[in-house]
């Protein structure tokens, strides 16, 4: 290993180890994880549970084998899932969720509730999928025409006579986070009606003799949500335990020690609940990791080794592999290559907080595809027979960051890669709105920036400034989750395709069918004077664009950096606003500064330096941009750099010792990079 590489690694390791030893770097929720089981579970009932599997179908082999192991030790075992099993990876999205149900049948699930992503392929498709389910579906808060759609609860009665009642709840966010066109006619309870529903279900199950009541919920603990699982528990009597999903949280207790357990996502863990049959009480609950690895040095090289992995049920593993192989045969062929790292939904939720090169690529592609088919003008006839037409200078593009589900490393690009980035099966749609309505959509979809939001706009042809130091003027309800801006305070559109923005002009917005139906914060699109759906899948539009326009190579020109259409003003320490740039790691500062508003989840950059715009941070940014995609130590650095949680910033962000500590560590790292000539020669694995 070269000396310069050793020096970088030593600095990185120092940061990582220091972070790991600091109490303020711990997770915000309690997590009890174990790898060893007891020898005897006779007289026990064990619930094994999952949530937010999102297409990680090989994980079903883990939970099936774990069921067999517990049963071999004398336990009665129930398998339960808290939703979002239908979508997230091409292994299930290719069948519109049907293969997810097939795999749950193979694993032997007993009961599940629904998540918002169960509706991504439409209500009718979901009903069709669930007809094949060999397990119970419980959901007490979804209505059609005033009637419950699914059974609200299910009673399990064990051999010992123990009775466990399960009831299910899906997040009311489904109304906006699934395509509204796909849930038309359905009503999702929210806030107090949701709590009252839970009270009724708990009381009904107790009335039927339930010894234990389990709420199987897809609510999550996202900040700002008005229907969180831990809030519901505190508002409802009679629930013994909540098995939760939606926020992808790894936890065995809520923020105030509520018995709420969640396994993260994609089978990172399997949840375990142990019930004593005689005492008729929850005895224990914890999480088992499905796999653990560590990095070790072998022959002068760092090697990642598996130190723990659950056994897999061979039959379930074979079935999962059959699906994976079948999909890979169709989706796994290379169609292009990328020379750069394309930033999507990464560790810091970039695509939900700022412009990214992936967002630019996708919006470029969908606008290009629409204009390619409409060479002169873009026009549509509305329901009243009026034709709306615009020239190409009045055509823009918007897609939501939450629809871009992952980042892509440099290398070969396959259809499966793009389908994983864009897994919802969305089609390209066009809405005709006024400039004022477009401005409303941008104001609403950035209302909480710099906090991540699925509705954050990735755009084409729109240059705008977002001032996060200004408060969002919350007006009337769009839905249970979002509010219309009563006035425009934060967003200023400066140009449209290089020309002055006109709030009275009509613009055609190329978007996706989710947003055109009013998804997320885009209610002004739903109310557009005219719109049409092209029927073209978004991933196919991107593939064609890469093929025809980029000659099957995504390169640094023009996608090495975001194009810079979006400029974000962030709050510095002391309340002074500073200009953050979207091209790098946008530093999230305080919202409101000295005004006393709650501090947002800051990034370390603005916490320790007070400003994103400083030499140290720019050097680090170039380090990330040039090296992250090609070196493991680049990834290690970024994870270390962002390891301080929002909770730590809230606790210590105003303390000089906190800032000094990180300044010293990061300044030393930057100095080492510069001393090694980093500016001229980025290190790469081949240089070692």
At 132-180, the pLDDT tens digits run 999 999 999 999 999 999 999 999 999 999 999 999 999 998 887 776 7
Mapped onto helix, strand or coil, the DSSP state of residue 531 is strand
| DSSP strand pairing (530-537 vs 427-434) | antiparallel
Tell whether the model's pLDDT for residue 90 goes beyond 60: yes
- Per the document, the length of the chain is 688
CATH code linked to domain 333-559: 3.90.780.10
Question: Where in the chain are all domains bearing CATH 3.60.21.10?
Answer: 31-309
- The predicted pLDDT at position 120 comes to 84
- At residue 141's C-alpha, the angle toward residues 139 and 145, to 5°, is 110
User: Between the CA of residue 340 and those of 190, 333, 396, 410, 460, what are the distances in Å?
Assistant: 43, 19, 25, 5, 20
- The predicted pLDDT at position 572 comes to 61
User: What is the band of 625 on the pLDDT scale with cuts at 50, 70, 90?
Assistant: very low
- The predicted pLDDT at position 4 comes to 47
Tell whether the model's pLDDT for residue 507 goes beyond 90: yes
Fold of domain 31-309 = Purple Acid Phosphatase; chain A, domain 2 (3.60.21)
The first and second tokens of residue 178, run together, are 């699934």
The first and second tokens of residue 331, run together, are 């989706």
Question: Where in the chain are all domains bearing CATH 3.90.780.10?
Answer: 333-559
Instruction: State how far the Cα of 301 lies from the Cα of 41, in Å rounded to an integer.
Output: 43
391-432 pLDDT, tens digit each: 999 999 999 999 999 999 999 999 889 988 998 888 899 999
Please list, residue by residue across 479-515, b when 16 or more beta carbons sit within 10 angstroms of its beta carbon and e when fewer do: bbbbbbbeebebbbbeebbeeebeeebbbbbbbbbbb
Instruction: Please state whether the predicted TM-score (pTM) of the whole model is above 0.85.
Output: no
- The predicted pLDDT at position 660 comes to 61
Instruction: State how far the Cα of 339 lies from the Cα of 554, in Å rounded to an integer.
Output: 6
- The predicted pLDDT at position 688 comes to 24
């Amino acid at each position: 290993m070269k000396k310069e590489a050793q020096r970088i690694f030593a600095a990185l390791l120092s940061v990582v180890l220091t972070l790991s030893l600091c109490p303020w770097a711990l997770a915000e929720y309690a997590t009890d994880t174990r790898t060893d089981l007891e020898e005897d579970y006779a007289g026990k009932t064990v619930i094994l549970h999952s949530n937010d599997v999102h297409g990680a179908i090989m994980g079903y082999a883990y939970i099936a084998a774990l069921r067999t192991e517990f049963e071999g030790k004398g336990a009665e075992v129930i398998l339960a899932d808290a939703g979002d099993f239908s979508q997230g990876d091409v292994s299930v999205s290719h069948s519109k969720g049907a293969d997810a149900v097939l795999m749950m049948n193979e694993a032997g699930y007993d009961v599940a509730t629904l998540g918002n992503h169960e509706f991504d392929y439409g209500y009718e498709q979901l009903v069709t999928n669930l007809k094949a389910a060999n397990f119970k579906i419980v959901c007490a808060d979804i209505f059609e025409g005033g009637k419950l759609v699914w059974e609200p609860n299910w009673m399990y009665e064990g051999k010992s006579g123990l009775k466990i009642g399960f009831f299910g709840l899906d997040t009311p966010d489904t109304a906006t986070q699934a395509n509204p066109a796909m849930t038309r006619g359905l009503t999702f309870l929210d806030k107090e009606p949701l709590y009252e529903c839970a009270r009724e279900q708990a009381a009904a199950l107790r009335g039927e003799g339930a010894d234990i009541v389990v709420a199987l919920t897809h609510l999550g603990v996202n900040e700002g949500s008005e229907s969180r699982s831990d809030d519901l528990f505190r508002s409802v009597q009679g629930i013994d335990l909540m098995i939760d999903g939606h926020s992808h949280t790894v936890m065995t207790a809520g923020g105030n020690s509520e018995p709420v357990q969640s396994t993260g996502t994609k089978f990172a863990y399997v949840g375990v609940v142990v019930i004593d049959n005689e005492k008729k009480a929850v005895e224990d609950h914890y999480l088992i990791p499905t796999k653990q690895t560590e990095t070790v040095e072998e022959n002068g090289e760092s090697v990642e080794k598996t130190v723990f992995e659950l056994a897999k049920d061979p039959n379930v593993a074979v079935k999962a592999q059959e699906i994976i192989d079948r999909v890979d045969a169709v989706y796994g062929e290379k169609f292009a290559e990328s020379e750069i790292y394309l930033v999507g939904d990464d560790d810091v939720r970039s695509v939900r907080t700022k412009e990214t090169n992936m967002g630019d690529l996708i919006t470029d592609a969908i606008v290009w595809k629409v204009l390619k088919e409409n060479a002169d003008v873009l026009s549509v006839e509305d329901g009243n027979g009026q034709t709306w037409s615009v020239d190409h200078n009045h055509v823009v593009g918007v897609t939501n960051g939450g629809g871009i589900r992952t980042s892509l490393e440099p290398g070969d690009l396959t259809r499966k890669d793009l389908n994983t980035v864009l897994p919802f099966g969305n089609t390209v749609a066009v809405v005709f709105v006024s400039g004022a309505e477009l401005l409303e959509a941008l104001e609403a979809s950035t209302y909480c920036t710099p906090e991540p939001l699925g509705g954050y706009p990735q755009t084409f042809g729109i240059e705008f400034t977002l001032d996060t130091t200004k408060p969002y003027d919350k007006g009337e309800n769009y839905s249970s989750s979002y509010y219309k801006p009563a006035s425009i305070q934060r967003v200023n559109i400066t140009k449209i395709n290089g020309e002055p923005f006109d709030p009275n002009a009509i613009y055609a917005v190329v978007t996706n069918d989710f947003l055109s139906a009013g998804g997320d914060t885009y209610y002004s699109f739903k109310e557009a004077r005219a719109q049409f759906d092209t029927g073209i899948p978004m991933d196919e539009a991107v593939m064609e664009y890469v093929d025809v326009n980029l000659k099957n190579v995504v390169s640094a020109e023009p996608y090495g950096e975001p194009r810079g259409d979006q400029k974000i003003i962030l709050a510095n320490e002391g309340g002074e606003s500073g200009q953050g740039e979207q091209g790098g790691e946008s530093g999230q500062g305080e919202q409101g500064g000295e005004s006393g508003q709650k501090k947002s989840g800051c990034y370390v950059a603005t916490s320790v330096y007070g400003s994103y715009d400083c030499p140290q941070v720019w050097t680090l940014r170039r380090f990330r941009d040039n090296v992250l995609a090609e070196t493991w130590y680049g990834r290690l650095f970024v994870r270390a750099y962002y390891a301080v949680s929002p909770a730590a910033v809230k606790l210590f962000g105003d303390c000089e010792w906190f800032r000094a500590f990180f300044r010293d560590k990061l300044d030393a790292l930057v100095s080492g990079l510069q001393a090694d000539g980093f500016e001229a020669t980025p290190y790469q694995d081949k240089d070692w």
